[in-house]
Structure 1
Amino acid sequence: MPPDSADSAGSTTATDVNQCADDCCSDSDAKSSTTRTLELQVPEMDCPSCASKVTNSVERLDGIDDLDAQVTSGRLLVSYDGAVTSQSEIRDRVRAAGYEIVGKRGGSGDAGADGTAGTASAGEQSFSVPEMDCASCASKVENALQNTDGVSEIETQPTSGRVTVSTDGDTDTATVVTAIESAGYDASLIDDGSKRMGDKQAVWKSRRAVGTAVGGVLVTIGMVLEFVLPALDPALGTVAGRTYELSHLLFIAAVVVAGTPIIRNGYYSARNRSLDIDFLMTAGILASVAAHHPFEGAMLAVLFSVAELLERFSMDRARDSLRELMDLSPETATIRREDGTEETVPADELEVGDVVVVRPGEKIPADGVVREGESAIDQSPITGESVPVDKTADDEVFAGTIPESGYLEIDVESEADESTIARIVRIVEDAEREQTKREQFVDRFASAYTPIVVVLALAVAIAPPLVAGASWNTWFLRGLTLLVIACPCAFVISTPVSVVSGITSAARNGVLIKGGRHLEVTGESDVLAVDKTGTLTQGDLSVTDVIPLEGATDEDVLRRAGAVERRSEHPIGQSIVGYAEEQGVAIDEPDISAFEALTGRGVRADIDGETHYVGKPDLFDGLADLKHVHATTDGGMNVASATRPKRQCERENCLDVLEDVVPKLEAEGKTIVIVGTEDGPIGVIAVADQVRPEAAWAVSRLQDQGVRVVMLTGDNEGTARAIANEVGIDEFHAELLPEEKLEWIQRLEREAGDGADDGTGHVAMVGDGINDAPAMATATVGIAMGAAGTDTALETADVALMGDDLTRLPYLYELSGKANGVIRQNIWSSLAVKAVLAAGAPVGIVTVIHAVIIGDMGMSLGVTGNAMRLANVEPETPADAELESVAGSANAAAPADSAAPR
């Protein structure tokens, strides 16, 4: 059987090796050199049907040569062309089929104590590289790793200081660490059980900070000697015809002390053929000293070092939000042994089946189920709920949440690295990998901008003296200024730092956004398609009416319906089963066979050899004429009559099923279920759900933000209209099959695209993440409700609302809109400042000091500080009185006979 979920951040056991055996080689030498084999452990792939789903999913990728799904061992062997597809794409297709891949990240090899030794089998390995905090840093690391044998894929995340590489079985951890160090950065392996990000750096106490401070003091003394007290600045000697005074030596000393880290990084940049800021600054500093401009060289070294430290400090603030998520889980847990004793152990050593004890104020160490006790638990770290949730025996709890009162014993149901909070952290970290459209634009622009400005700087420094006989000294300094301006650092980090700030802010408020692209496009989605059951309503269905027909009784209708629906997993069927059991009806007595789910319409099965149907009224089209079926009432008892003509009924006691009973129940917002056989119906069951109290408020806020809210539901039109009127939705489409919901999403996208500048329409879809999977997958952004307790929704949705709180939808749109605004501000302000500085440099208005302080240090701080504003965006929590007011307004504004747009 397939699992309920697929953990997209799950670890892998993989072997990725080049095929060299003669019997495995293809006729093409070129293709054989890129042919690889990947082995994945998929334990839930334990039947032929499961294997078929997995292979069908993987076969959709280009470059797949052969697949071998071994059901008995749960192994999947994939032979593929590494030049066409990648390991990560294959893993994604397996997870998309609904199956989890297990095994330790980075293989089964053991790392040394320092994290730099040991051999790892094929797979992914993650490394902490704290000093890799900008795009140029990441570029150097990538260049170094690309030249390392056995490394097939590289992902750098400068915002979190993390590098993830895919390696083959012959490449050990030490080789990767050495390659990163060759780029000039320290690295350490991130184990599964360790923190996935480096510890916070003491920026202002680092060796770099001390050297910068000393360099600053030397420059200050030198400036005083040269410009204020020249009489105290004696000439100390002449080198190559140039006289060096005491101040000059102080400036050169400042270059050595403050500039050594820059020159070191510049050396690595040159070695890796990377035209980045370190290389440009190194060239500028050395050229300044060589050209007898030690003051400019010293100022460049000190100011750029200060800028680097400030940028690292700002980036550390961005990383703090990620660390806060990681710190939600406690480091230790108290286990209750079978003999009643308690023992404190590291939380990452907990195993499934352990019993942990949690007291008020302590963090719950692992996901699990309450065995004993009751408490009000603060779930805000996971779901964003501001009000504590009462938990008692058999209730689910999450790691990182805090009991405010009461003693709890909890059965552990997941290991530390597979808890909900651990998966959230992984997803938030991985979200940085997916670039937004604006990031892609910035990268393309920067790749052209830097070399163009460098060439311009060389032209400015050389052309005027050569062509017009101008001063070499003057134009050298102007060219040097342009060289500094050529660095696009602030421009490049403007988008990723905003994305990380927005995503981590959302995660703290119970909204999990799985990529910058989804954060960006949500705010651009003018249409939000909303499912009804479980989204606008609470999803807690209950039977409200049982109307027997054809001489049947209530018990008979419930017995047959319950017997058939016991095989169904649909919420409506489960509510009928539950009600029948509450009424003491024996639904397990009939002999059931040939059960079949009729997608979007109902179910059927044989009861004691006779085919029965349970579902929507249109399920009986062609089976029975419901217009000639009546129900009569007698003293409140429902009595059926299909044989007695309607004229024989007393009108006040005789109800026509289609013309009276069904419309009346649908107008009350109830869902109608007909129970019957091929000969005709035997009863009507009405099921109702409660609208979420905040639904009308959330819809109203979304509409105020300019969002067109459309309800898509498989329920009948009468019920859909009643719910739409109650929550204030003007447009709804009812009685839709899953594939019809998908078609409506496509239609809404076309309609939205007609009014868009680029002709592309964006539509978001919010649902439960399971029943609405096709529509959510088709929508521009799929948003799942209540994902904290639903693995599938957590892993498959683009955005997951961890709680069942619709107030997070307006918050999501507000955050996305503000994030897009901040990103635009950062990009265009960076471009504007660089343009102004570049225009002023050739005419001498802008100096090196201006270029460093404003163009580099100032703009880096500016874009980072602007991005941090997103952390202040908080969801609005309406008061009860406001909820009632909005709901009342929605009901009053909705005409009772409003027609649904079709």
Structure 2
Amino acid sequence: MPRRIDYRIQGLDCSEEVTILRREVGGKPGVIDLEFDVLNARMSVEFDADALSASEIVAAVDATGMKATPWERRLEGEEEPFWIRHGRLIMTAVSGMLLLAAFLTHWVMHGNLLDAFAGGHDAEHSFPLPVYLIYLGSVACGAWYVIPKALLAARRLRPDMNFLMVVAVVGAIIIGELFEAATVAFLFALSLLLEHWSVERARNAIGALLDLSPPTARYLCPDHGTIHEKPVEDVPLGAIVHVRPGEKIPLDGEVVKGISSVNQAPITGESMPVSKQLGDEVYAGTINQDGALEFRTTRAANDTTLARIIHMVESAQSRRAHSQQWVDRFSAYYTPAMMILAVSLAVLLPLLTMASWSEGVYRALVILVIACPCALVISTPVSIVSALTASARNGVLIKGGIFLETAGRIKVLALDKTGTLTQGKTQVQQIVPLSGHSERELLERAAALEAASEHPLARAILQKARELGVEVIPAEHYQAIRGKGGEGSIGGRQFWIGSHRMMHEKGQETPEIHAKAEELEDAGHTVVAIGNDTHICGLISIADSLRENVSQIIKDIKKAGVRWVIMLTGDNQGTAKAIAMEAGIDEYRCELLPEDKVEAIGHLVREYKEVAMVGDGVNDAPAMASATFGIAMGAMGTDAALETADVALMSDDLSKLPWLIRHSRRTLRNIQQNIIFALGLKLVFIVLTLFGLASLWMAIAADTGATLLVVFNSLRLLNRANSN
């Protein structure tokens, strides 16, 4: 019987550990699937409970030197045991102090700084016993967390960077290079500590998102009529929550009393506060500014928009970027190749030159040390995690590293019109009754047919009906006609409502009606026709205005590297042309049904390869799925948008699009810098080693320095959370 268990893995900090766990746990009979979230040190195992037990999974993890415990999200204020939090730091610090103590003791006992620094290399004396023991203590502390993984790699005949380091340290001890052995152990432990710290820094950045939501909420108890303050997890759905000015909103809900402005920047990245009043939605983690609010909760604490954002940012780690996959594939060949080079150097150097066997072994050990792929392994994941976190802070939710990379390669950007390029706040501009019908009669029938629709055009008609005091009685037996309109019964008679195309298909369009419809369309209006089984009752023209600064944003998108911007719309030729010209769009395609948009995207993908589709995440879901990746606009609070899109813009701010493209390209450059620097440094030291110009401590110092620079270069992306 299939079963899934999540574990917290102590010691899971990078893809190296993921590889080890996949090999040891994934190879067990009965394991169906393994998923990893390095950011939260979580492993999810799906397995056949009849073939494998949970205790066997834990034992397999323990055999790697890591520890597995059942997953539980830590409560506020809850901490891991002291040794788990600080053990790595303590052992590294002790290793460094013992290294310094041994060096100073050697210096004092011999009175020769150069001898102490050489640590016996080419020296004519042996180590004093106290110095020998202190150096061994430094090695033991530095290699404390490495030895179990190295032994596992040796047993499995799969050399990794832990194995390389242990071989280098043991080899240095055997040939009497205790100072360099201890230096290698200490600096490698320091580089692993840096790796652990960088991942912890990224974890804390995600934790900061979690901290946006307050842990408690004040709500009205319906039984007693009094205000209670309880953990947000205990607040029931439908409860009335009170929020004072300056407080964070604890849960998602709908305002039932009060007027205020709310800072939604923590969720959407919007710079300006948003006005909230009766009926408006509020979101957990946003900040109530200048007025008291009461709202009715609509989502549980674990299902708020903020909670879903955090979950998706965390799960994005499992969608590995192409660069991560490349590094993993490269490392699989790189480590064995370096071992072959080291062994060849140790054997051939004494045979082909006048060098001693000791010198050959020493240079081989230097090769092993500089071959350590620590900086290379960490070069991509920290960049990806930092970039994803910065995006979430800026109201851009990216579902994984693979999509983050793809955004920087976009050649064509396709946009839906309504609600994407335009504000989506459509208004009725003109009512044109025909065939003896009145304006009110026409509006009554249109509102009846659109009563259950959420389409922006329907909302405009219903809003106009409310403004004129028209009673809306929903049509009976209403049936939507995909991409065209709908039909229903009003007062026992069948009526239809739809686009100019539908009007033409009904065969009821006269030359006069056609001319009037074209006149309205040429003015940039969308025409909605209402008719019955014999004639057209009238036309309603509806218009929507472009979003602010759209033309400048389109220019910014092109400056960011997009070659072609195209608008796909179901609207008529006149409206599409007017909008495209005003926005500065390169090309438009109009009167498209949903399946036509899918076909158009498919053609663009075949021609340009890298194509993004921007829509509302619901109506445009098929087209977004057909594109290289889909981008949902205004996704905050919209389940379908959050689930279907590869990238979700939490607000309606189109300026996030050029920011996303630039951010993706910054991330790609950052990763390339890291990889080139890590590999370039290794190449330089390999050449120096072949000519006898590099030492063990120089090699490990260079590798640690490379790790340090790669980490800090990657973490710079955390600070790129400003859209302009």
CA contact (8 A) 1:512 1:801 kept: yes
| Residues in 1 aligned to 2:54 and 2:264: alpha-carbon distance in whole angstroms | 38
1:356 Cα shift? Answer: 2.7
The 5 A counterparts of 1:436-451 are: 436-451=321-336
CA contact (8 A) 1:134 1:489 kept: no
Higher helix proportion, which one? 2
Q: Identify if the C-alpha distance between structure 1 residues 167 and 138 changes in structure 2 by more than 3 Å, giving closer, same or farther.
A: same
Deviations along 1:757-801, one digit per CA (max 9) or x if unpaired, are xxxx10001110111111101011100011112011011100000
Decide which of 539, 563, 569 is 2:448's aligned counterpart.
Answer: 563
The 5 A counterparts of 1:403-442 are: 403-442=288-327
Q: For residue 161 of structure 1, what is the amino acid of its counterpart?
A: A
Which residue does 1:515 correspond to in 2?
400
CA contact (8 A) 1:127 1:188 kept: yes
1:283 Cα shift? Answer: 1.5
Q: For residue 386 of structure 2, what is the amino acid of its counterpart?
A: S
Which residue does 2:369 correspond to in 1?
484
Q: For residue 788 of structure 1, what is the amino acid of its counterpart?
A: M
Q: Identify if the C-alpha distance between structure 1 residues 601 and 232 changes in structure 2 by more than 3 Å, giving closer, same or farther.
A: closer
Which residue does 1:215 correspond to in 2?
98
| Residues in 2 aligned to 1:366 and 1:163: alpha-carbon distance in whole angstroms | 29
Decide which of 589, 602, 610 is 1:733's aligned counterpart.
Answer: 589
Q: Does 1:722 align with 2:605?
A: no
| Residues in 1 aligned to 2:228 and 2:691: alpha-carbon distance in whole angstroms | 74
| Residues in 2 aligned to 1:184 and 1:139: alpha-carbon distance in whole angstroms | 14
The DSSP-based 3-state class of the residue aligned with 2:67 is coil
Q: For residue 138 of structure 1, what is the amino acid of its counterpart?
A: V
1:520 Cα shift? Answer: 0.5
The DSSP-based 3-state class of the residue aligned with 1:683 is strand
Deviations along 1:628-681, one digit per CA (max 9) or x if unpaired, are 33xxxxxxxxxxxxxxxxxxxxxxxxxxx323x323322332110111123221
Which residue does 1:146 correspond to in 2?
26
Q: For residue 260 of structure 1, what is the amino acid of its counterpart?
A: W
Q: Identify if the C-alpha distance between structure 1 residues 312 and 223 changes in structure 2 by more than 3 Å, giving closer, same or farther.
A: farther
Deviations along 1:566-589, one digit per CA (max 9) or x if unpaired, are 243432123223322432334428
| Residues in 2 aligned to 1:316 and 1:801: alpha-carbon distance in whole angstroms | 27
| Residues in 1 aligned to 2:540 and 2:421: alpha-carbon distance in whole angstroms | 22
CA contact (8 A) 2:4 2:44 kept: no
| Residues in 1 aligned to 2:472 and 2:195: alpha-carbon distance in whole angstroms | 68
Which residue does 2:636 correspond to in 1?
788
| Residues in 2 aligned to 1:577 and 1:744: alpha-carbon distance in whole angstroms | 32
Q: Does 1:838 align with 2:686?
A: yes
Q: Does 1:688 align with 2:543?
A: yes
Q: Does 1:863 align with 2:710?
A: yes
1:832 Cα shift? Answer: 1.6
Which residue does 1:460 correspond to in 2?
345
CA contact (8 A) 1:624 1:678 kept: no
The DSSP-based 3-state class of the residue aligned with 2:671 is helix
CA contact (8 A) 2:88 2:193 kept: no
Which residue does 2:120 correspond to in 1?
none
Which residue does 2:419 correspond to in 1?
534
Q: Does 1:851 align with 2:699?
A: yes
Deviations along 1:35-89, one digit per CA (max 9) or x if unpaired, are xxxxxxxxxxxxxxxxxxxxxxxxxxxxxxxxxxxxxxxxxxxxxxxxxxxxxxx
Q: Identify if the C-alpha distance between structure 1 residues 248 and 534 changes in structure 2 by more than 3 Å, giving closer, same or farther.
A: same
Q: Identify if the C-alpha distance between structure 1 residues 514 and 556 changes in structure 2 by more than 3 Å, giving closer, same or farther.
A: same
Q: For residue 456 of structure 1, what is the amino acid of its counterpart?
A: L
User: Which range is displaced more, 301-310 or 783-792?
Assistant: 301-310
Q: For residue 467 of structure 2, what is the amino acid of its counterpart?
A: E
Q: Identify if the C-alpha distance between structure 1 residues 180 and 360 changes in structure 2 by more than 3 Å, giving closer, same or farther.
A: farther
CA contact (8 A) 2:508 2:534 kept: no
Which residue does 2:70 correspond to in 1?
189
Q: Does 1:344 align with 2:229?
A: yes
Deviations along 1:178-233, one digit per CA (max 9) or x if unpaired, are 43232112343332675899879866983223322322322432552477538999
Which residue does 2:528 correspond to in 1?
673
| Residues in 1 aligned to 2:314 and 2:601: alpha-carbon distance in whole angstroms | 30
Which residue does 2:178 correspond to in 1?
294
| Residues in 2 aligned to 1:675 and 1:282: alpha-carbon distance in whole angstroms | 80
The DSSP-based 3-state class of the residue aligned with 2:636 is helix
Q: For residue 140 of structure 1, what is the amino acid of its counterpart?
A: I
1:147 Cα shift? Answer: 4.9
- TM value normalised by structure 2: 0.92
Which residue does 2:35 correspond to in 1?
155
Deviations along 1:524-545, one digit per CA (max 9) or x if unpaired, are 0111101100111111222111
The 5 A counterparts of 1:308-387 are: 308-338=192-222, 339-387=224-272
The DSSP-based 3-state class of the residue aligned with 1:611 is strand
The DSSP-based 3-state class of the residue aligned with 1:370 is strand
Which residue does 2:142 correspond to in 1?
258
| Residues in 2 aligned to 1:720 and 1:232: alpha-carbon distance in whole angstroms | 82
| Residues in 1 aligned to 2:547 and 2:334: alpha-carbon distance in whole angstroms | 52
RMSD of aligned C-alpha atoms?
Answer: 2.7
The DSSP-based 3-state class of the residue aligned with 1:260 is coil
Q: Does 1:663 align with 2:518?
A: yes
Higher RCO (C-alpha under 8 Å, 6+ residues apart): 2
CA contact (8 A) 1:326 1:422 kept: yes
Q: Does 1:603 align with 2:486?
A: yes
| Residues in 2 aligned to 1:196 and 1:851: alpha-carbon distance in whole angstroms | 42
Q: Identify if the C-alpha distance between structure 1 residues 538 and 319 changes in structure 2 by more than 3 Å, giving closer, same or farther.
A: same
Q: Does 1:613 align with 2:496?
A: yes
Deviations along 1:677-701, one digit per CA (max 9) or x if unpaired, are 2322120101111221132231121
Deviations along 1:89-114, one digit per CA (max 9) or x if unpaired, are xxxxxxxxxxxxxxxxxxxxxxxxxx
| Residues in 1 aligned to 2:543 and 2:630: alpha-carbon distance in whole angstroms | 26
Q: Does 1:206 align with 2:53?
A: no
Which residue does 1:641 correspond to in 2?
none
Decide which of 835, 856, 872 is 2:719's aligned counterpart.
Answer: 872
- Among the aligned pairs, what percent are the same residue? 39
Deviations along 1:389-413, one digit per CA (max 9) or x if unpaired, are 1212322111111112222233222
Q: Identify if the C-alpha distance between structure 1 residues 189 and 400 changes in structure 2 by more than 3 Å, giving closer, same or farther.
A: farther
The DSSP-based 3-state class of the residue aligned with 2:436 is coil
The 5 A counterparts of 1:761-840 are: 761-840=609-688
CA contact (8 A) 2:198 2:382 kept: no
CA contact (8 A) 1:140 1:183 kept: yes
| Residues in 2 aligned to 1:193 and 1:416: alpha-carbon distance in whole angstroms | 15
* Corresponding pairs, count: 711
| Residues in 2 aligned to 1:123 and 1:264: alpha-carbon distance in whole angstroms | 27
The DSSP-based 3-state class of the residue aligned with 1:218 is helix
| Residues in 2 aligned to 1:136 and 1:586: alpha-carbon distance in whole angstroms | 67
The DSSP-based 3-state class of the residue aligned with 2:143 is helix
- TM value normalised by structure 1: 0.74
Q: Does 1:277 align with 2:165?
A: no
Deviations along 1:128-185, one digit per CA (max 9) or x if unpaired, are 43x3212222222333323556543222333443322223446665554443232112
Which residue does 2:561 correspond to in 1?
706
Which residue does 1:123 correspond to in 2?
4
| Residues in 1 aligned to 2:255 and 2:106: alpha-carbon distance in whole angstroms | 70
The DSSP-based 3-state class of the residue aligned with 1:125 is strand
| Residues in 1 aligned to 2:664 and 2:437: alpha-carbon distance in whole angstroms | 56
CA contact (8 A) 1:625 1:680 kept: yes
1:609 Cα shift? Answer: 4.6
The DSSP-based 3-state class of the residue aligned with 2:406 is helix
CA contact (8 A) 1:624 1:679 kept: no
CA contact (8 A) 1:479 1:842 kept: no
Decide which of 135, 141, 155 is 2:15's aligned counterpart.
Answer: 135
CA contact (8 A) 2:284 2:306 kept: yes
CA contact (8 A) 2:635 2:648 kept: yes
| Residues in 2 aligned to 1:375 and 1:126: alpha-carbon distance in whole angstroms | 43
The DSSP-based 3-state class of the residue aligned with 1:127 is strand
| Residues in 2 aligned to 1:250 and 1:174: alpha-carbon distance in whole angstroms | 40
Is there any run of 5+ residues in structure 2 with no aligned partner, and where?
Answer: 117-123
| Residues in 2 aligned to 1:737 and 1:196: alpha-carbon distance in whole angstroms | 53
User: Which range is displaced more, 407-416 or 479-488?
Assistant: 407-416
